[in-house]
Structure formats: C-alpha cells, structure tokens
Amino acid sequence: MGSDHVPPVGSMAAMRPIPPDSPASHPPDWWRSAVIYQIYPRSFADGNGDGIGDLAGIRSRLPYLADLGVDAVWISPWYPSPMKDAGYDVSDYRGIDPAFGTLAEGEALITETHRLGLRILLDIVPNHTSDQHPWFQQALSAGPGSAERDRYIFRDGRGPGGDQPPNDWISQFGGPAWTRVTEPDGRPGQWYLRLYAPEQPDLNWQNSQVRAEFEAILRFWFDRGVDGFRIDVAHGLAKADGLPDRGDLPWPLPPVLEDAGAHSVADEDDVHPHWDRAAVHEIYRTWRKIADSYPDRRVFVAEAWVNRPHRLARYVRSDELHTAFNFDFLNTPWRAHLLHRTIDRTVAALGRVGAPPTWVLSNHDVVREVSRLARPQPDQPGRLWLEDLLPLPADYELGTRRARAAVLLMLALPGGAYIYQGEELGLPEVEDLPDGARQDPVFEQTGRKRRGRDGSRVPLPWSGDRPPYGFSPAGATRPPWLPQPADWADLTVAAQDDQAGSMLALYRQALRIRADLPALGDGGMRWRESPVGTLVFAREPGFCCLANVSADPVAVPEASTPILGSGPLTSDGRVPADTTVWLSLAA
C-alpha cells in the first residue's frame, strides 16, 4: 500500500442492499453475527410532543435504523410502569405504557420493523416487578405467611421488634436492600427484598407461579412476532437458601484465583449469596426450550454483570441463552495490552461453549464512551462512574477520535455487537445536568453522592440548531424530559447525514462493509505480530484490522490495502495514534 489516505468515509460505492424478505436477510443463525441497536424509548423520538419518546416516534424513525445498517433493535422496557426506574419497574408485562402508546401500536411496530428487514427484541425484567404490580399489592394485603407473599421475598426483621433488615444485603442503587412494610392491621411488619429501588420488589424464583407467569409472558410476546428478549439482571434471579449475610464479599470477585492459575470455574459457583448462582441456569434452560419451540427460533441476550468471560460463558451454553453482553469489553480501558487480554479471554471462554462473542461499548447504565475515552485511561479494567471521571481532565476531541477507533475495532471482532442509541452520533455524556432535572433513583438513593445515569439518557438530537433538536415535533407541548445541551447542533442526525467523515457516516459505512464482507461477523480471528501498543488481527478471507492504541504512528502490514479508517493516515501512509483501519489482505 502507498502513502494514500484511507478513503474518506462515505466515498465508497454503496453496498448491495438485501431485500427485506429474502431468505438471505433471515438466516437461522443471524444472531451470531448480529449488530443490535438499543432503543431507549423515552429518549429516542417523541411523536406526540409531550417531551417523552414514544412508539409513534420509533415507528417514524425505523427507516433511519434500516439505513444505518443494523440487523435488529432491542427496545428497553415499554410496559406500563410507574417509572420509578425508567420502566425497569414493570406493573403489567403484557401491555404498553400509555406514555409510549398502545398494544395495537406495539403490534404495528413489530410488523413494520420486520417489513424493513429488521428483527425486534424486547426487554424482560424477571428479577423484580413494580411495587404497583397487582401481585405485590396482593402480597401487601394478604399478610405474612400467605401464598401471595411467597411470590416475593418477605422476611421478619432482625433485632428487637424486628426493626433491623433481615440481612446485610445492599441495594445496587445505594442503602439497604430491604424495605419494611406496614401490615394490614396498621403495625410495622415484615421486610421485603429489593436489590434496586424500594419500588422494585424482588421476585421469588423458587415459587412455581413466578416461573409459570414469566414463561407465559415470553409466549405472549413471541406469539406477537417478537424475535427475542434482553434479560434484565439475568445473573440475579436465584438467591441463596436462608439468605445469608454477604459480609464484605466484593462484586465482581477479585481476580486473584484466576491470575494465580489455581482456578476452576466451579470454584466460583455460589460464592455470592445473590449474584451469578448456579440455580439461574435451570430457568434459562426452560426459556430456551420455549424459544426453540417457535419454528423461526427466538433468541435471548443476557444482561449478566459477572466475574469475567469464564463465568459469562455459562449463560450461553448450547441449551441456555444465545448471547450475553460482554461488559468486560466496555470496562476495559483504551490500553492495548488490556484490550488484547479481554479479547483473548472472551473469544476463548465463549468459544469453549460454542457461543459467539458479543461486544458492547455503551448502554443506558454507563457513561457514554466519548466521555470515558476523553479521560486519561486507568491501569486496570473496571466500571467507571461519572464521579470517577469528573475530576480527570477531559479532551473530547480525543474521546471522539478514540470512540471512532473503538467502534471499528468492535465491529471487526468475531461475533455480534450492540450499539446504544446516540453512539452513532458520537454523543458525549451530559455531565452537567442540573440536579433538579435528574430522574435516576440512584441520585436520591445515594444521598446525591452519585449523580446517576441520566447523562447517557438525554433525548436524541435529530435536526435543527436548538433543543428539542427535532426530538419532539413542532408545536410540542412540553420540553424533552431531560434537558438537551445547547451545543448539540453539530451532532444531530441531519447535521451528520451528508457529512463525509461524520461519526454517523462512519457507522453507516462500517456496518455496510461488515454486512458485505464474509470475513466479518461470526467466525475466528488470528493475532498478527505487531508493534507494542497496537492490536492487529486477521480474519479469513483476506481481512485485517489494525488498532493503534499507542502514542505514535505505525506502519500498516505489508500487502494490505485500506478499506476504511476511523481517521486519515499520516502523510507517509502510517496509522496515527488512536486510529483503527480495516484492511484487505492480498491473497
């Protein structure tokens, strides 16, 4: 290859579109390579102008998603909900929240999505319901020892008068994981477990009615054509008998055992009293049978925050779930040796069970990657909260350059990938939301110590030069439910649409090429020797990816021709720092 720049994004001939209903667009193992786009319905598009995204908004933007080139959408919960945790507190699993639309609109959306050649996954929330779910209301009025209470996890308190929580478990949102109820006779009574907000009581998965109900809910939506589910808190459904104290056990577990080599996967079975316990797997085996009973086989993706890929692999054994989010990748700093290690561990662990890896950079629970990557990168992998990042100097241009490089790396790796809405626009985290606007229960539940996740949930900018940036239609009656920044005019879909070199153009280009190249998606990869600070791997036939995570430019491999770059090459044809190139290799 000479000293030419990588062809600018957008200059390549359009790839051949696959007609929506051709068999090629629906291979039975489509999920092994799929790129799935997460729609967070409150923040995607507002059809009726009340400031909240809705199904009419999603429907109007489906062509945008088809054009983007994703294979499927996953819609975060759309069910009726008091919205104490933005819909992850479900009060009716068979309906649609009136703020979003109606069941008929949901059915039309499923049909329309299919018509455009896309699959559609919903989000199922089996660990907990809303406290307004009829079952929980029945449990409250039926009293201690009742069959109604057995669907949840009620216990007497400890200490004199039972006024201490039954154990030391803590809520993911801060504070104790237990709430005390007032019994029907007006006296302070039992406590119920809720690993998240007080309005999200945990279900008891040892109760057969709970199991039967969720199996029926799966069927309800499968019968309406839904192609699969993302399973919320998939690692949390089973709790240890007797609900023993957790003590100071950290989560995830420290890597000591594994790194010392004295480790077997079973060593970590049932270590934690409520995360990643062996008993969850039996539930998913049953669910898999239900999915497989449909002729066109429906699929699952697990949201399981577990202890690295060797544990994740257990969720995707051949008779369990199909895929699982690879949060280890998301939690890996932009450092070559750490990325290399995460990729190796992932590919090896999932390969052992025959499951495809998946890759994810972002979702509605984490700080957006532009803002993470804008900061100096830590030495170790781990979840970064906004509070961790705010004290660090931020260079958003650098963050954007790295985010571009990261997505080309991600889309070149074997298996499938997840894209969170707005990622394709290069949106940064909104780090300075006014406290009064914050909605995430994490904020109040931590005594305002953690700001929470609202900064990644700000409504999308579609067009125009000021809020609501086309998120709501002209004449909207309310502003967007979270305020949008004043400086997002250049990040709108309209602004990036025809702009060669925009983040949106890069995503479109990369997804088209990915769909067209047999080397990409499911399959193997082979590392090639490369300078320190770079990741270079080949995929058959004839593809090579080079990510330069070092501070200096590096040469491209011999006999390679650039297909796409996350940024221009240097004038002497090398790949600059924080840049990824896709290359085709001479046979």
Residues near ligand NOJ, by CB under 6 A: 85, 88, 125, 196, 232-233, 303, 364-365
Tell me the C-alpha distance between 386 and 366, whole Å: 8
Q: Give yes or no: 303 in active site.
A: yes
- Provide the β-strand partners of residue 544: 538, 583
> Residues touching Ca ion: how many (CB under 5 A)?
5
> Please, what's the b/e burial string for 126-159 (b: 16 or more CB within 10 A of its CB; e: otherwise)?
bbbbbbbbebbeebbeebeeeebbbbbbbbebee
Q: Which of 9, 52, 109, 231 binds Ca ion (CB under 5 A)?
A: 52
Distance in Å, CB of 88 to ligand NOJ, minimum: 3
Stretch that binds Ca ion, among 52-60, 112-120, 200-208, 339-347 (CB under 5 A): 52-60
CB atoms inside a 10 Å sphere around CB 389 = 17
By a kind-dependent CB cut-off of 5 to 8 A, residue 52 interacts, out of ligand NOJ, Ca ion, none, with: Ca ion
Q: Return the structure tokens found at 399.
A: 């963050």
The entry of ligand NOJ, Ca ion, none that residue 135 binds, CB within 5 to 8 Å by partner kind:
none
Cβ–Cβ under 8 Å, residues 171 and 194:
yes
238: CB partners within 8 A, 6+ apart: 205, 274, 277, 278, 279, 280, 283
Instruction: In whole angstroms, give the CA distance from residue 328 to residue 342.
Output: 7
Nearest distance, CB of residue 202 and ligand NOJ, angstroms? 10
Q: Which two tokens stand for residue 2?
A: 């000479």
Task: Report which DSSP code applies to 575.
Answer: B
Active-site hit among 199, 232, 268, 423? 232
Chain mean position to CA 60: 23
* Residue 120 contacts which entry, Ca ion, ligand NOJ, none (Cβ below 5-8 A, type-dependent): none
The answer to the question of residue 50 lying near Ca ion (CB under 5 A) is yes
Instruction: Determine, following the binding rule CB under 5 A, whether residue 83 of this chain makes contact with Ca ion.
Output: no
Contact positions with Ca ion (CB under 5 A) in 109-128? none
Residue 257 vs 476, nearer CB to Ca ion: 476
Closest distance to Ca ion from the beta carbon of 96 (Å): 12
Look-up of token digits 């998606």: 521
Interface residue with Ca ion, options 6, 40, 54, 200 (CB under 5 A): 54
Closest residue to Ca ion in the complex (CB)? 54
Residue 199 interacting with Ca ion (CB under 5 A): no
Which CB atom, from 30 or from 275, has the smaller least distance to ligand NOJ?
275
Taking the least distance from each CB to ligand NOJ, the nearer of 88 and 152 is 88
Pick one of ligand NOJ, Ca ion, none as the site partner of residue 320 (Cβ within 5 to 8 A by kind): none
* CA distance linking residue 227 with residue 289, whole number of Å: 14
Least separation, in Å, of the C-beta of 493 and ligand NOJ? 25
232 is an active site residue = yes
DSSP H helix total and E strand total for the chain: 15, 16
Nearer to ligand NOJ, 233 or 408 (CB): 233
Of 44 and 88, CB closest to ligand NOJ: 88
**Cα 501 to the center of its chain, rounded Å:** 26
Q: Are 75 and 55 in contact (CB under 8 A)?
A: no
Q: Which is nearer to Ca ion, 48 or 209 (by Cβ)?
A: 48
Single-letter code of the amino acid located at 151: R
Q: Which of 303, 328, 365, 424 is catalytic?
A: 303
Minimum distance from CB of 123 to ligand NOJ (Å)?
8
Structure tokens at 195: 């690993």
CB of 283 to ligand NOJ, least distance (A): 17
User: What is the 8-class DSSP label of residue 177?
Assistant: S
Residue closest to ligand NOJ when measured from CB atoms = 88
DSSP secondary structure string for all residues of 463-532? SSSSTTTTSS-TT-SS--SSPPPTT-GGGSHHHHHT-TT-HHHHHHHHHHHHHH-TTSSSS--EE----T
Q: How far is the CB of 125 from ligand NOJ (least distance, A)?
A: 6
Residue number, 237 or 299, with CB nearest to ligand NOJ? 237
Binds 88: which of ligand NOJ, Ca ion, none (CB < 5-8 Å by kind):
ligand NOJ
Give the tokens for residue 584.
Answer: 């085709």
For the bound state, the minimum distance from the C-beta of residue 124 to ligand NOJ, rounded and expressed in Å, comes to 11
Q: Judged by CB, which is closer to ligand NOJ: 97, or 365?
A: 365
Backbone φ and ψ of 75, nearest 5°: -105, 120
**Closest residue by Cα to residue 526 from 512, 514, 515, 541:** 541
Interaction partner, residue 54 (ligand NOJ, Ca ion, none; CB < 5-8 Å by kind): Ca ion
**Helix H or strand E segment including 564:** strand 560-565
Spell out, one character per residue from 30 to 49, where the chain touches Ca ion: x when CB under 5 A holds, - when not: ----------------x-x-
Residue 365 site contact among Ca ion, ligand NOJ, none (CB < 5 to 8 Å, cut-off depends on kind): ligand NOJ
Shortest Cβ 52–Ca ion spacing (Å):
4
Q: Given the rule CB under 5 A, which residues bind Ca ion?
A: 46, 48, 50, 52, 54
- Active site (catalytic) residues: 232, 303
